[in-house]
Structure 1
Amino acid sequence: NDAWGWTDPDSGRDYAIIGMRDRASFVDVTDPYNPVYVGILMKTEGASTSSWRDMKVRNNWVYIVSDGAGQHGMQVFNLERLRDFDGEPVRFEEDHHYDGIASTHNIVINPDTDYAYAVGAGGPNGCGGGLHIINIEDPSNPTFEGCFQDMNTGRRGTGYSHDAMCITYDGPDDRYDGHEICIGSNETAISIADVTDKRNTVALGMATYPNVAYSHQGWITDDHAYFFMNDELDEGRGLVSGTRTLIWDIKELDDPILVKEYISDNPATDHNLYIKGDMMYQSNYDSGLRVYDISDPENPEPAGFFDTVPYQEGGGMTGSWSNYPFFESGIIVVTSGREGMVIVKVRN
């Protein structure tokens, strides 16, 4: 299912972290032609197997959650332990555990701060599925910091966030320079919040859009001026003619404006997308990895693709779930349901 990556700051080796139904798998992808299986971290003891497992990295630690998995909580694992690999794959144990949440759909981490945000969380303090804020300054002792819920969003009006992106803002809206801002894909809408004060979070802006089916996930451009978002169910329900990417102008954080619905000529359902520089990398289920040049953000141009399931097409939900394009080496790790992990690189 999901994927993330880690580059060892000491050795420079690249590792892929791959979510599976009952575990996370660690793969050394430094030599992309000869990936090396290093080991696994099994799901929390007593938790259910699940199609959803998500992870993010901060300061050589990976934080892992799972949805539909009972009392899974958040696993904390020290990635420096991968350095001890001697050729025999290892069945690792978690280093620490956070049980302030139960099942959780996704985990979000601001790369500049020591805060994680569990979204779509269950449990007595799941924050209605909105942002459940966790202080991870001390990975051995994650602590609850606060909630954010935009009650104007979510199917049940609880502010449920399916996924989010949190950043230290450095964009055109100078009112919020240096503030910690989270942008949520909240089932029915885009939601923007100022979470600088974890005990006093503030809703800044929200907006809906035509033919909404399920606001799923998105990523901000490097200049913090645009947010590209996908809707997971619009293609399958016949609401659009092809894969739709929603392009939001967020130059004023309290007034997000939908400036473009980019619809490709492919009917595939979209899933996770990420942006690195002027390139956008979309995992679009039956059409695999799709790459776009977004140097003109309001007019994306196809730049390449790798179809992980060339034997089928359409609006189904098999094929590529996610990708990780942030390795400095330029390799892209792509996950695909039955096909496993694929490593690719964009040709110049």
Structure 2
Amino acid sequence: VYESHPFDFMLAHNIFIDTVSASLYACSPRSLGATDQLRVYSLANPEQPALRATYNRNDKVHDVFVRNDTAYCSSSFYGFEIIDFSSGDNNWQNISELRSYPYQGYNHSSWINEKGIGVMADETHGLPLKVIDTRNLANIRVLSVFGPRMGDTTSVPHNPFIKGDYVYVAYYLDGLQIYNLSDPENPVRAGFYDTYPDPDYKGFAGAWGCYPFLPSGRVLVSDMQRGLYVFDVTEATRVDTLPVANAFSMNPVPATAYLDLSFPSTDTGAVAVTVSDMAGRRMLHQKLEVFPYIIQPIRLTLPGYWVPGSYIIQVQTAGNLYKRKFTKR
């Protein structure tokens, strides 16, 4: 047990231990009279941690993932940074950063797999998760975006953790969300459990931590209101039960105020969306911007004056026409 002196270390938002180099990374640590963005401590002698380096270059480092002395920093509103601490003694090197990216908000946390593919979470209501490619440090790219309720301002992610081909996300009001990342340009939801069944709102409640690394394979989830959950995710992570990735989908059904559409399209520019009633009268026609992702997420607002009943929606891309019936309450 080590008890620090208040002039050395009082608290931190989060820590990450790099077991390869026996180093502890403390995010936004505070001591009496001093606050840093990131500190690195050597745990070579666990009873007497020694400060190796401090980092105070840009915005607050809210969270960090570390592998082999390389820190992948979620740096709040500054964005995403990769810092090399291998030299020690404050001889760190900023080797890459991502300052601007689609659906950018408060860069909260990330996790990177062994191949250099990661998931980045912006803790900003209504913004989706991002799959990022860090293999070319000169060109970090966002490969795709995904989430359980795209564009819904009551939906906000907290912490992602990658194990194998799956990312496990503590997703506040949306509970535990599990996505298959075997195709990083096309994440597919494999399972979920809503730990917060109460009405959604634009706030912070529900699942804010998860842990998928137990030897048993079970997943732990901590919920702010309801405590600890233990999940058996065997069925969700079976490859033969993986949902079809290229299917057109819409949620919620029945719909009330909006309709979330998800469909495959590598087109850029715009797609045409048309809604007609069952008599064939055109109720809505819009051209909506799409992004260069495999799966397009679009939220369609349904006017309040539309009468409850059945409608036909058509989505025209450069290569496909999707046509479905839906019910409005």
- Say whether the fold is shared (TM-score over 0.5): yes
**Alpha-carbon distance between aligned partners in 1 of 2:119 and 2:84, rounded to the nearest angstrom:** 19
Where does residue 107 of structure 1 map in the other structure? 15
**Alpha-carbon distance between aligned partners in 2 of 1:327 and 1:315, rounded to the nearest angstrom:** 32
TM-score (norm 2): 0.65
**Is the 1:214–1:231 Cα contact (8 Å) retained in structure 2?**
yes
Shift of 1:167: 0.3
Give the counterpart of 1:324 among 199, 211, 219.
Answer: 211
Q: How does 1:176-255 map onto structure 2 within 5 Å?
A: 180-188=69-77, 189-199=79-89, 200-208=91-99, 209-223=101-115, 225-235=116-126, 240=127, 244-255=128-139
* Structure with higher RCO (Cα < 8 A, 6+ apart): 1
Where does residue 227 of structure 2 map in the other structure? 340
**Alpha-carbon distance between aligned partners in 2 of 1:285 and 1:205, rounded to the nearest angstrom:** 30
**Alpha-carbon distance between aligned partners in 2 of 1:299 and 1:286, rounded to the nearest angstrom:** 24
The one-character-per-residue Cα deviations of 1:138-196 (angstroms, maximum 9, x if unpaired) are 11111111113333xx2xxxxx200000102xxxxxxxxxxx21100000200001110
**Alpha-carbon distance between aligned partners in 1 of 2:119 and 2:185, rounded to the nearest angstrom:** 10
SS in 2 for 1:150: coil
Q: How does 1:274-293 map onto structure 2 within 5 Å?
A: 274-293=161-180
**Alpha-carbon distance between aligned partners in 2 of 1:148 and 1:255, rounded to the nearest angstrom:** 23
The answer to whether 1:97 aligns with 2:3 is: yes
Shift of 1:298: 1.8
Q: Which amino acid aligns with 2:176?
A: L
Where does residue 43 of structure 1 map in the other structure? none
SS in 2 for 1:98: coil
Where does residue 164 of structure 1 map in the other structure? 64
Q: Structure 1 residues 207, 222: CA separation in 2 closer, same or farther (over 3 Å shift)?
A: same
**Is the 2:144–2:184 Cα contact (8 Å) retained in structure 1?**
no
Q: Which amino acid aligns with 2:218?
A: I
Q: Structure 1 residues 306, 139: CA separation in 2 closer, same or farther (over 3 Å shift)?
A: same
CA root-mean-square deviation: 1.8
Identify unmatched segments of 5+ residues in structure 2. 236-329
The answer to whether 1:258 aligns with 2:142 is: yes
**Alpha-carbon distance between aligned partners in 2 of 1:298 and 1:149, rounded to the nearest angstrom:** 34
**Alpha-carbon distance between aligned partners in 1 of 2:9 and 2:33, rounded to the nearest angstrom:** 7
**Is the 1:101–1:126 Cα contact (8 Å) retained in structure 2?**
no
**Alpha-carbon distance between aligned partners in 2 of 1:111 and 1:315, rounded to the nearest angstrom:** 38
Q: Structure 1 residues 291, 263: CA separation in 2 closer, same or farther (over 3 Å shift)?
A: closer
**Alpha-carbon distance between aligned partners in 1 of 2:24 and 2:73, rounded to the nearest angstrom:** 14
Q: How does 1:109-188 map onto structure 2 within 5 Å?
A: 109-123=17-31, 128-129=36-37, 131-151=38-58, 154=59, 160-168=60-68, 180-188=69-77
**Alpha-carbon distance between aligned partners in 2 of 1:331 and 1:263, rounded to the nearest angstrom:** 22
Q: Percent identity?
A: 26
SS in 1 for 2:36: helix
**Is the 2:4–2:10 Cα contact (8 Å) retained in structure 1?**
no
Identify unmatched segments of 5+ residues in structure 1. 1-94, 155-159, 169-179
Shift of 1:126: 5.4
**Alpha-carbon distance between aligned partners in 1 of 2:49 and 2:186, rounded to the nearest angstrom:** 42
Q: Structure 1 residues 313, 113: CA separation in 2 closer, same or farther (over 3 Å shift)?
A: same
Q: Structure 1 residues 291, 315: CA separation in 2 closer, same or farther (over 3 Å shift)?
A: farther
**Is the 2:43–2:49 Cα contact (8 Å) retained in structure 1?**
yes
Q: How does 1:32-111 map onto structure 2 within 5 Å?
A: 95-99=1-5, 100-111=8-19
Shift of 1:211: 4.2
Shift of 1:97: 1.5
**Is the 1:212–1:234 Cα contact (8 Å) retained in structure 2?**
no
Q: Which amino acid aligns with 1:182?
A: A
Q: Structure 1 residues 322, 301: CA separation in 2 closer, same or farther (over 3 Å shift)?
A: same
Q: Structure 1 residues 133, 125: CA separation in 2 closer, same or farther (over 3 Å shift)?
A: farther
**Alpha-carbon distance between aligned partners in 1 of 2:184 and 2:34, rounded to the nearest angstrom:** 35
**Alpha-carbon distance between aligned partners in 2 of 1:229 and 1:328, rounded to the nearest angstrom:** 25
Shift of 1:123: 2.8
Shift of 1:127: 6.2
